[in-house]
């Protein structure tokens, strides 16, 4: 159903934001891959709450436990189950909202679908669900790195109208992790941090764009028509909480160009076919061409804010809601490792599908 993703490298996440814990089951990971909890923890630490004043103060260590699928530090080829226990859940903080539909949350739509809902935080709609995705993404990165020198790197490219000035092909992990905003443009990052902090103090929130590059992806990944690589990337990113738009390559900006200026000319670099530009974002006809894969995800402002808002309760009565609880004034800094995880899951799945079709060809 709706909690699983992938074909050959398949994951299913489970758990709620204020339940006993969350996690993921990973099926299709090849055997013999070196894998320990430390490999997962490094990525989970980048996603965890309470990292700085720019994020939610919820204090979760997000310590992971691998329950199955490994032995003596290597994968068995059987399903890998990962658990992260909730340590700082405070369900009582949401009791007074149990019958109120919070604006731009999933309260009303979940009730419309299932006939009832959990009012403890966002339940499955909470961004806390992404714990399992990030853990699975860490495994996917290991699979990719084992067979190809693939590097997946995301960063905060824009907060509201504050735009980073960087060259995507040159951004480094050190630049991204150099500040709590995770923006590689240090000067703009400082202004972003000030803007986010101001929104937090005002009881408001901000949105923006996370950009991602995948380097070293071999040509040939992706399938024609419905399983195009860019189509699967778009679905993966659009499945993230608060994501409202996805671009591949030039995206919407490409609509301002002509074919003569937008096309990527081919040339030979030794024995390798290359393109002089990369407006296609590394994908043509739904299949990777060996250039850097470039995607961007737009995230709306966080729905939970401290400013009073008009809404209704389950009986249709008008209510003024002033939300409480702990939330991110801007989801972007913590969305960075989540975007990387989803891109890794798609690329890993398509790499295994290519292997099944053609074998390991370099």
What pLDDT shows up at residue 60?
Answer: 76
Q: Which position has the higher pLDDT, 123 or 78? A: 78
β-pairing, 162-163 vs 287-288, is: unpaired
Domain 89-358 architecture: 4-Layer Sandwich (3.60)
**pLDDT surpasses 60 at 361:** no
Q: Residue 1 pLDDT > 70, yes or no?
A: no
- The answer on pLDDT for 362 being more than 70 is no
**What pLDDT does residue 122 have?**
74
At residue 56, does pLDDT exceed 80?
A: no
123 band by pLDDT with thresholds 50, 70 and 90? confident
pLDDT at 49 over 80: no
The pLDDT of 23-30, averaged and rounded, is 97
| pLDDT at 178 > cutoff 90 | yes
What are the CA-CA distances from residue 19 to residues 36, 55, 107, 150, 186 (Å)?
Answer: 25, 21, 17, 36, 38
Q: Given this model, what pLDDT does residue 92 score?
A: 66
Between 322 and 291, the more confident residue is 291
Cβ density class 141-151: b for 16+ within 10 Å, e for less: bbbbeeebebb
pLDDT computed for residue 294 by the predictor: 98
- So what's the pLDDT on residue 324? 67
Beta carbons within 8 Å of 97's beta carbon, 6+ residues apart: 119, 321, 323
CA separation for the pair 38, 321 (Å, rounded): 42
């Amino acid at each position: 159903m709706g909690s699983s993703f992938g074909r050959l490298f398949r994951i299913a996440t489970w758990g709620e934001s204020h339940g006993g814990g969350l996690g993921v089951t990973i099926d299709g990971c090849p055997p013999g891959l070196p894998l320990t909890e430390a490999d997962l923890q490094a990525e989970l630490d980048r996603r965890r709450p309470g990292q700085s004043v720019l994020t939610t103060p919820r204090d979760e260590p997000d310590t992971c436990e691998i329950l199955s699928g490994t032995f003596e530090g290597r994968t068995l080829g059987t399903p890998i189950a990962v658990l992260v226990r909730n340590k700082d859940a405070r369900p009582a903080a949401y009791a007074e909202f149990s019958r109120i539909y919070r604006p731009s949350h999933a309260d009303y739509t979940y009730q419309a679908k299932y006939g009832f809902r959990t009012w403890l935080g966002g339940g499955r709609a909470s961004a806390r669900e992404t714990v399992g995705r990030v853990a699975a993404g860490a495994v996917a990165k290991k699979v990719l790195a084992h067979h190809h020198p693939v590097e997946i790197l995301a960063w905060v490219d824009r907060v509201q109208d504050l735009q980073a000035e960087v060259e995507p092909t040159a951004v480094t992990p050190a630049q991204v992790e150099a500040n709590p905003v995770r923006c590689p443009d240090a000067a703009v990052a400082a202004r972003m941090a000030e803007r986010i902090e101001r929104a937090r103090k005002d009881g408001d929130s901000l949105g923006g764009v996370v950009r991602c590059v995948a380097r070293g992806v071999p040509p040939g990944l992706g399938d024609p028509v419905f399983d195009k690589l860019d189509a699967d990337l778009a679905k993966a990113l659009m499945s993230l909480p608060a994501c409202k738009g996805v671009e591949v390559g030039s995206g919407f900006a490409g609509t301002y160009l002509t074919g003569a200026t937008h096309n990527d000319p081919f040339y030979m670099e030794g024995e390798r076919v290359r393109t002089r530009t990369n407006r296609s974002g590394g994908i043509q006809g739904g299949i990777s061409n060996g250039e850097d894969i470039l995607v961007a995800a737009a995230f709306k402002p966080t729905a939970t804010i401290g400013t009073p808002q008009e809404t209704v309760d389950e009986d249709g009565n008008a209510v003024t809601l002033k939300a409480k609880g702990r939330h991110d004034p801007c989801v972007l800094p913590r969305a960075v490792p989540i975007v990387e995880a989803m891109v890794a899951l798609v690329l890993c799945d398509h790499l295994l599908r290519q292997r099944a079709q053609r074998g390991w060809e370099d």
